Amino acid sequence: MPSVLVLNGPNLNLLGTRKPEVYGSTTLADVEAMCRDAAGRHGLTAEFRQSNHEGQLIDWVHEFGARAKAGECIGAVFNPGAYTHTSVALHDAIEGAELPVVECHISNVHKREAFRHHSFISPVARGIVVGFGVRGYVLAIDGLAALHEEGRASS
């Protein structure tokens, strides 16, 4: 069964206790369960990873890019946290590994501080889900699965 990678960047391990007025009270373990259900509805398994370290995230993007090319993975739902706004290296990794990515943000970053308005990830993302709370992860999995099916139908 092919997989979908759900990748979370820095501080998302604090979900549930970090700024609940912005990010809600759902924990990352709850999000993982939601993602496993959503993936299962599309006949996929969810591979769930979180790291506070940019290099580790880059290594996973490379690994899963290769697995996507091998047909073992349909791509990734990626919440890069604050690296969204800073990381040329993650931009280059996604582009270089050709990993299909749906960028996902729990909060509406465009309603927040100006430094959150720019994303280095968006230009290399297949799609973007912003501001739907943690249900955005499920919407992003649905969207990535739809894009994947569309690609298969037209090839």
Task: Check if 118 is active-site.
Answer: no
Run of H or E including 4: strand 3-8
Catalytic residue among 23, 83, 91, 137: 23
* Binding test (CB under 6 A) with ligand DQA, winner from 26, 51, 84, 87: 84
The alpha helices in 25-134, defined as continuous H runs, are 28-41, 54-69, 88-97
**Residue 3 or 50: which CB sits closer to ligand DQA?**
50
Q: CA-to-CA distance for 85 and 41, rounded, in angstroms?
A: 32
42 is an active site residue: no
Binding of residue 109 to ligand DQA (CB under 6 A): yes
- Determine which residue in the list 27, 52, 86, 107 makes contact with ligand DQA, applying CB under 6 A: 107
Spot the catalytic one: 83, 105, 137, 148: 105
Beta carbon nearer to ligand DQA, 34 or 109: 109
Per-residue contact string for residues 55-74; x = within reach of ligand DQA by CB under 6 A: --------------------
Closest residue by Cα to residue 101 from 86, 82, 120: 120
Which residues have CB under 8 Å from 148's CB, separation 6+? Answer: 74, 75, 100
135-153 helix and 28-41 helix, angle to the nearest 10 degrees: 30
Calpha distance 145→52 (Å, rounded): 27
Q: Which of 76, 79, 94, 102 binds ligand DQA (CB under 6 A)?
A: 79
Q: Rule CB under 6 A: which residues touch ligand DQA?
A: 11, 79, 81-82, 84, 105-107, 109, 116
As annotated, the active-site residues are 23, 105
